[in-house]
Amino acid sequence: MKVLVINCGSSSLKYQLFNMENQSVLAKGIVERIGLEGGMLKHQPADKAKVEISENIPNHRVAVKMMLDALTDKNHGVIGDMSEISAVGHRVVHGAEKFSGSVKITDEVMDVLKECISIAPLHNPPNIIGIEAARELLPDVPMVGVFDTAFHQTMPEYAYIYGVPYEMYKKYSIRRYGFHGTSHRYVSMRAAKFLNKPVEDLKMVTLHLGNGSSITAVKNGKSVDNSMGFTPLEGIVMGTRCGSIDPAIVAFIMEKEGITAEKVNDYLNKKCGVLGISGVSSDFRDIEEAAGKGNSRAKLALEVFAYQAKKYIGSYAAAMNGLDAIVFTGGIGENSISIRKMICDEMDYFGIKIDETKNNVRGKEADISADGSKTRILVIPTNEELMIALDTVSLI
């Protein structure tokens, strides 16, 4: 069975085609700059050379068509025709309280997704456009929606209610939702397998550290808290997002800089984080390089990031009354040896001791804890696309 996984953003569409017999990737790619100048498809078949096609891509329907053409092309394609695609799995950012698991997409589900736009105006519209384009071009293929928020729907009410009047929750659905759920679910399952223990017996903190970063308390296989909130802006400081700040700062900046609510939202999402602190870049490789050359603001940005991550581990250990494992994933978690060390250093009070030699690893599953570390420290590369494909198979 072949399953196509689609992750549609406002101007890009990422895809992977899986052969579910052996969970291998037949081809993957990205359509970039949809609706902008300089549209481009980058298509990588598993056993052939990468192909890049530049052309104007006016909308998502054209992007989906380009992807399907690439997959079925007689030179660089990997399937004979579209009928070989048995199902499509779509990543959807926000399922609000409507979806606590993945669902088969129907007209009714599409209506509910559209209702969720009001609380996820930045993220859900492109996901919906992608689903609509795929349904139009593959009308007979079953499709499944997999939500970033779904895994976190097990959070207890006291973890998701904010200190604002309860009416705000009832009226506008203002509460913590948590994000990156597909990644946290995948790595917590893999970590349990790695440790050869049932996930139901484990208390874990999973750290998805990438351009966006979120940290989850996973107790007995269920998410009980996540550092992201009503939107993916809350939590630890990120590439360009400010993370948790005193909410009074928002009104203060608006007043001092004379900017609107929309502008300040954009500012907090795109101009802050380690980019804003360092003044160097949002990319941790650049920041680490600058810090290595003595740039003090770059060094400070790394320290702020690691310190905030450390505090989440401590608070989630308290929330779960114990901690068996911490799991690093995402571009930074999987690859940054120095950030993992900074986060885990001086945590022996919690039984966390990193082994510097074992920590010398990138991008593969590994146990990097020192002998005698009560809490195991794992690196588990995430694979959200595979998780989406697996959910898709189980639902159709």
- Give the Cα separation of 262 and 43 in Å (integer): 36
What is the contact mask toward ligand ADP in residues 281 to 310, using x (rule: CB under 6 A)? --xxx--x----------------------
* Choices 76-84, 316-324, 327-335, 387-395; region in contact with ligand ADP by CB under 6 A: 327-335
Asked if 239 touches ligand ADP (CB under 6 A), the answer is yes
| Phi–psi pair at 315, nearest 5 degrees | -70, -35
List, by residue number, the catalytic residues: 148
- Give the Cα separation of 374 and 361 in Å (integer): 21
- What percent of the residues of the chain are helix, what percent strand, and what percent coil, each to the nearest 5? 40, 20, 35
Residue from the set 102, 335, 373, 392 that interacts with ligand ADP by CB under 6 A: 335
Q: Is 243 left (phi over 0), alpha (psi -120 to 50) or beta?
A: left
Residue pair 330/183 in contact (Cβ under 8 Å)? The answer is yes
CB of 332 to ligand ADP, least distance (A): 4
HSE on the CB side for 395, CA within 13 Å? 23
Asked if 386 touches ligand ADP (CB under 6 A), the answer is no
Asked if 336 touches ligand ADP (CB under 6 A), the answer is yes
CB of 58 to ligand ADP, least distance (A): 25
CB of 305 to ligand ADP, least distance (A): 10
- In the bound state with ligand ADP, the residue whose beta carbon lies nearer, of 191 and 317, is 191
- For the segment 265-284, give every residue that binds ligand ADP (CB under 6 A): 283-284
- Give the Cα separation of 153 and 135 in Å (integer): 27
Asked if 10 touches ligand ADP (CB under 6 A), the answer is no
Closest alpha carbon to 21 in 84, 71, 90? 84
Asked if 331 touches ligand ADP (CB under 6 A), the answer is yes
From the CB of residue 289, how many other CB atoms can be counted at a distance below 10 Å? 14
CB of 364 to ligand ADP, least distance (A): 13
Asked if 332 touches ligand ADP (CB under 6 A), the answer is yes
- Give the Cα separation of 203 and 219 in Å (integer): 5
- Give the Cα separation of 232 and 373 in Å (integer): 32
- In the bound state with ligand ADP, the residue whose beta carbon lies nearer, of 156 and 363, is 363
- In the bound state with ligand ADP, the residue whose beta carbon lies nearer, of 278 and 375, is 278
**Footprint on this chain of ligand ADP (rule: CB under 6 A):** 210-212, 239, 283-285, 288, 330-332, 335-336, 362
